[in-house]
Amino acid sequence: MPDADVTQTDLFLNRELSLLEFNRRVLAIAQDPAFPLLERLRYLSISSTNLDEFFEVRVGSLRQQVELNVQAPGPDGLSAAEQLRQIAPRAHDLVEQQYSTLNDELIPALAAEGIHFVRRTHWDAAQRDWVREYFRQQLQPVLSPIGLDPAHPFPRILNKSLNFIVTLKGKDAFGRESGRAVVQAPRSLPRLVRLPREVASGDNDFVLLSSILHAHVDELFQGMKVTGCYQFRLTRNSDLFVQEEEIDDLLNALEGELPQRNYGAGVRLEVADNCPQEVAEFLLQQFHLEPDDLYQVTGLVNLNRLMAVHELVDRPDLKFPPLVPALPRSDTSGSGIFACIRDQELLLHHPYQSFMPVVDFLRQAAADPRVLAIKQTLYRTGTRSPLVEILIEAAQAGKEVTVVIELRARFDEADNIELANRMQDAGVHVTYGVVGYKTHAKLALVVRRDGDRITRYAHLGTGNYHSGTAKAYTDFGLLTADPVLTEDVHRVFLQLTGLGKVTRLRQLLQAPFRLHAAMLEKIQREIDNHQAGKPARIVARMNSLNEAKIIQALYKASQAGVPIQLVVRGICSLRPGVPGISETIEVRSVLGRFLEHSRVFYFENGGDPEVFLSSADWMPRNFFRRVEVAFPVRDPELRDRVAEESLFNYLQDNATAWALQPDGSYQRIRPTAGEIPYSAQESLTAQLSGATTG
């Protein structure tokens, strides 16, 4: 019986709908009483932030395609208009679940723990007096209400800002009678205000800035009657557009484009549930939106502001227990790190193991007189990165320091521009990679004189050089002095900073040149091995999977009988378990305390397994529009460790894992009768963190 056609559109799940499914799984953590209460509130905020970005980027892009009549359906065959039609009901349902989780589950549970969001209707006399004083001293001086009349058209509303539409009766001092005004909440004040102990019932009583403004909005319109005051929030298309081929200076072009991000086309309007229909329709008209774009919510219109509660409330019993990252046994202190790496490659699994050896690697390089040059890629580092300070110190010490900084890391553009300017001022050679390709590879190279020869040392990673995210994201890093691997890293830097033809790399698989073809070849090799009776298996983990040819190759491998197990955190366009197509493919998603970020690819290779770590997901942008690398873990002990910790360990998870179904939905994996609950992340925390490890 011939294999079924693996190119059919109904074999591919839609990317955007899959992304919404991911956000539904994030929300499920907020709904799970097994997680600490304040962490559940934090995950609710994360689901809100994720949905913001979904509208800003994904929905914004689809709307542009519709407006420009772009007919470019993806592998699933859905046009942009069809995708928008399917997104709307799912997004409305997700928002409804977010607010029911907050109002019906989290707020009562928080109140039981003495954490209160005190509503206006529940303020006592002392609280009302304190709030009135706060309004007059802190809030009123920075407010600028805007009456709507021919001289005051509807103001430009900042993306995702908190605003109020106020309905009025009467005439002002000039005899104007417009009936409506807009008040924009100041970004300089916190959205959550803690009540002082003398007027509060406990240490953790909060009022919302929106409640304070609502209670005293009439003071902004003296002599007139306020008949209504309603929160609203506009989400805009925030994708930057820079025609890179037609500019001379990418940094200046991005600096000029960034302010416009806050004023792109509207894509979503959120209003309070008490907002009258006519007022909501008026707002929709101002932003050129349709009824499906309106989200009426019960509570504050920006759930991600509740993220602050996690830091404001000092209740360790309601948070995850502290994680103490382990340090490796190898001596990486003082001047010993280079000797350590020469003797044996050092593999780090963050956040269970400390990020400090990476910092020490660069710090010692900056201080070591035998180090001649340092080269590094930077994608997202944070504005106060210790690594940036180290690179500046190295340049000021006279070393050749070259940094390839990716200015176009979405929503980090302004921070990266600031870092680029600071480093250039300090004498660092700063380049911005290759026009048309984002530099996403995570590489650092140190060139050192060891006796009478030059030795290269490298760090290769799956995650960003950001000491903050290294505490929250699961990632691998490899410190190595392997001459072949470090020569490959050197050649990649030559490509990024100079000009010339692509040279063949011996160990690294690089996008956009070789990575995609290599993955297809390795999948085909597993097919060939299986058909020849040799051991064959594919196990891979990544953030997202939606590249059509890779999915088709996996389908063909499944048709040949190759066992395939995938751990895909977010987007997955592959349908597992389809008869005759993907019966041997299992896809699971694991969400827990840490954000799963590692990309790991395992190929059985006839009994001689290959394991690659990578900065790249299996997505078109990673294969064809970015500079990425995948690097092999060749040491057998380290290779087996990577496979066990990041793959096989996750295939045992029955506590925080979800199984993708053929229809695109996910089912929570639960322990069977008599089975002990097992969390991959908790196992790694117990195994690796808080101790000295090898």
Annotated binding residues for ATP, as ranges? 50, 473, 569, 597
Angle between helices 80-100 and 37-53 (to 10 degrees): 160
Binding residues: 50, 380, 410, 473, 569, 597
Q: How far apart are CA 362 and CA 465, in angstroms?
A: 11
| Residue 626 CB neighbours (<10 A) | 23
Name the nearest CA neighbour of 682 among 659, 661, 664, 655.
655
For the chain, how far is it from start to end, CA to CA, in angstroms?
51
Exposure on the CB side of residue 59, measured as CA atoms within 13 A:
27
Q: Are 626 and 440 in contact (CB under 8 A)?
A: yes
Strand 473-480 with 453-461, pairing: antiparallel
Contact between residue 432 and residue 404 where contact means Cβ atoms under 8 Å apart:
yes
Residues linked to residue 628 through DSSP beta bridges, in sequence order = 511
Helices (H), 153-306: 209-216, 250-257, 277-286
Sign, CA dihedral 334-340-345-346, equals negative
Q: Is 310 a catalytic residue?
A: no
Find where tokens 């070591």 sit.
368
- Residue 394 CB contacts under 8 Å (≥ 6 apart), including other chains: 362, 365, 366, 371, 374, 401
What sign has the CA pseudo-torsion 117, 121, 123, 129?
A: positive
The one-letter amino acid at 609: P
Q: Residues within the annotated binding site for Mg(2+)?
A: 380, 410
Rounded Cα distance, 119 and 347, in Å: 52
Dihedral of CA atoms 231, 412, 84, 232 in degrees, nearest 10, equals 0
Place of tokens 């809100």: 48
Beta bridge mates, 206: 117, 194
**CB-based burial of residue 59 (10 Å sphere; 0-12 exposed, 13-18 middle, 19+ buried)?**
buried
* Chain center to CA of 453: 42
- DSSP assignment of 44-113: HHHHHHHHHHIIIIIIHHHHHHHHTT-----TT---HHHHHHHHHHHHHHHHHHHHHIIIIIIHHHHHHT
Contact predicate 65/80, CB 8 Å: yes
Distance CA 25, CA 47 (A): 9
Tell me the three state secondary structure of residue 500: coil
Question: Given 116, 214, 440, 466, which residue is catalytic?
Answer: 440
The Cα 599–Cα 568 span in angstroms is: 9
By three-state DSSP, how is residue 475 classified?
Answer: strand
What are the residue numbers of the active site?
440
